[in-house]
Amino acid sequence: MVSLEILNDIAYVTLNRPDKQNALSVEMFIQLDQCIKKIKKRREVRAVVIRGDGEHFCSGLDVKSVMAKPLNIIKLLFKWLPGNANLVQRVVLGWHTIPVPVISLMQGNSFGGGLHIALGADIRIAKDNTKLAIMESRWGLCPDMGSAPLLLGLTQYDKALLLSSQGDPINAEQACELGLITEVSENPEKRCNEIIKQLKTRSPDALAAIKRLNQASFHFNRRSILAKETWSQIKLLLSKNTRISMHNATKEVPKPFKIRRKW
pLDDT per residue over 29-42, tens digit each?
999 999 999 999 99
With beta carbons less than 8 A apart as the criterion, state whether 79 and 36 touch. no
The verdict on residue 212 lying in a domain is no
pLDDT per residue over 123-169, tens digit each?
999 999 999 999 888 878 878 787 887 888 899 999 999 999 998 99
The verdict on residue 178 lying in a domain is yes
The CATH code of the domain that includes 142 is: 3.90.226.10
Model pTM score? 0.86
The verdict on residue 233 lying in a domain is no
SS3 221: coil
User: Helices 70-77 and 26-41 sit at what angle, rounded to 10 degrees?
Assistant: 30
Domain count, the chain: 1
Mean pLDDT over each residue of the chain, to the nearest integer? 90
CB atoms within 10 A of CB 71: 9
Distance in angstroms (rounded) separating the CA atoms of residues 226 and 235: 14
Domain that includes residue 91, residue range = 2-199
Q: Is the pLDDT of residue 219 over 70?
A: no
